Amino acid sequence: MTVNTVNNGNAVNTADLRTVKRLGSGLPFVIPFLIVAFLFLIAPMIYGLWLSFTEQSLMGNGGWAGLANYAEALRDPTMWSTLGHTVAFTLMSTIPLVLVALIMALLVYIGIPGQWFWRLSFFAPYLLPVAVVVQIWTWLFNSDVGFINYWLEQIGLDKVGWLTDVDVAMWSMVILTVWWTVGFNFLLYLSSLQAIPDLLYEAAEVDGAGFWRKLFSITLPQLRGTTVLVTTLQVIASLKIFDQMFIAFNGGSGPEGSTRPILQYIYDTGFTNYRMGYASAMSYIFFIAIIAITVAFRFLTRSRKEVNNER
């Protein structure tokens, strides 16, 4: 029962007082998260930014460098070449990771036989650790005894240097990454497909629409938001490529340095050459590049409704 009390001549609803009290009780639950975020996210970012203005080394303290590290990084041809490798991998991997995931989700959604088997097969590789995935595919890609080259020979084709050919090595990493991570995008698409109202398809069937008309007029437009989300997440993830290439080439840079991403160059600079200050400066340049690419992509993928609202 709600009771009204009088405070300085004004009626106060006791139910409102209880609501205000409950709203203020959430702070103890937020404080642990804020502490963890500060210790493991905010503080390291601030420390890394400070390092980028110094000559700090793993071997000892360094002096203040100002903007010298940033100026050197912008003139460093290796940084730009490794950044180019990273962007190339992002373009090569994002398109199949979006399209293949969409096709897989559509196949499951339309009800192909063996639903449980396909769902498990599509998503299971995503649960594997990167070291296991790379080990599997380096065996498959082996030039001499690899399974893929064996079958190429069986059908009369020449062997391919999957991990040794400059023109093929990057595509090998793309194939590996697509097989490993496409399951996550598949799950996002499948969830979105299941959220599309059946009334839309029923109305289309009444109008005589076939499969392709429903696909291009209902399904794909309804999945636009999911496609933008999946593509954005995939671009960010691909720009951060490091583990697969580092393990596949045993810490090397691939054939003639063709697969060395910028994060590996930053790692080598900081932990092999001991130049932590310079590595931090390149990290923040790369960080700004990721933000710029993400903002540009978000601007290009705005919906017509969002553009009209801004006007």
**Co-location of 94 and 140 in the same domain:** yes
Q: Does any domain span residue 56? A: no
Q: Does any domain span residue 58? A: no
d(CA 196, CA 180): 27
Domain count, the chain: 2
Q: What is the dihedral of CA 103, 106, 111, 117, to 10 degrees?
A: 50
**Co-location of 94 and 40 in the same domain:** no
Task: Enter the tokens of residue 31.
Answer: 């404080």
**Co-location of 157 and 29 in the same domain:** no
**CATH of residue 216:** 1.10.3720.10
**Co-location of 80 and 47 in the same domain:** no
Alpha helices, DSSP H only, in the chain? 14-23, 27-37, 43-51, 68-74, 77-109, 115-123, 130-141, 147-154, 169-194, 198-206, 211-214, 220-222, 224-239, 243-248, 262-267, 276-300, 304-310
**Co-location of 133 and 233 in the same domain:** yes
Domain hosting residue 20, numbered range: 15-51
Are 172 and 141 in contact by the 8 Å Cβ rule? The answer is: yes
**Co-location of 41 and 181 in the same domain:** no
**Co-location of 30 and 102 in the same domain:** no
**Co-location of 46 and 193 in the same domain:** no
d(CA 298, CA 159): 42
**Co-location of 47 and 78 in the same domain:** no
* pLDDT range class, residue 1, cuts 50, 70, 90: very low
Q: Which contacts of 267-273 are long-range, i.e. CB under 8 A and separated by 24 or more positions? A: 267/242, 270/58, 271/58
Q: Determine the average pLDDT of the residues in 259-286.
A: 94
Q: Determine the average pLDDT of the residues in 24-34.
A: 80
**Co-location of 176 and 257 in the same domain:** yes
Q: Which amino acid is at 32?
A: P
Q: Does any domain span residue 3? A: no
Q: Is the dihedral of CA 220, 221, 222, 224 positive or negative?
A: positive
- Predicted TM-score of the model (pTM): 0.84
Q: Determine the average pLDDT of the residues in 256-266.
A: 93
pLDDT beyond 80 at 232: yes
Q: What is the dihedral of CA 268, 269, 273, 274, to 10 degrees?
A: -110
Q: Does any domain span residue 259? A: yes
- Computed over every residue of the chain, the mean pLDDT equals 87
pLDDT tens across 6-25, in order?
A: 555 555 555 554 555 555 56
Q: Does any domain span residue 199? A: yes
> pLDDT at position 26, please?
74
Q: Does any domain span residue 176? A: yes
Residues contacting residue 130 through CB under 8 Å, at least 6 positions apart: 180, 243, 244, 247
Q: Does any domain span residue 215? A: yes
Nearest to 184 by CA among 296, 84, 98: 98
pLDDT beyond 80 at 305: no
Q: Determine the average pLDDT of the residues in 251-260.
A: 90
pLDDT tens across 86-96, in order?
A: 999 999 999 99
**Co-location of 29 and 142 in the same domain:** no
**Co-location of 41 and 87 in the same domain:** no
Task: Enter the tokens of residue 55.
Answer: 């000559």
Q: Does any domain span residue 202? A: yes
Task: Enter the tokens of residue 189.
Answer: 């698409």
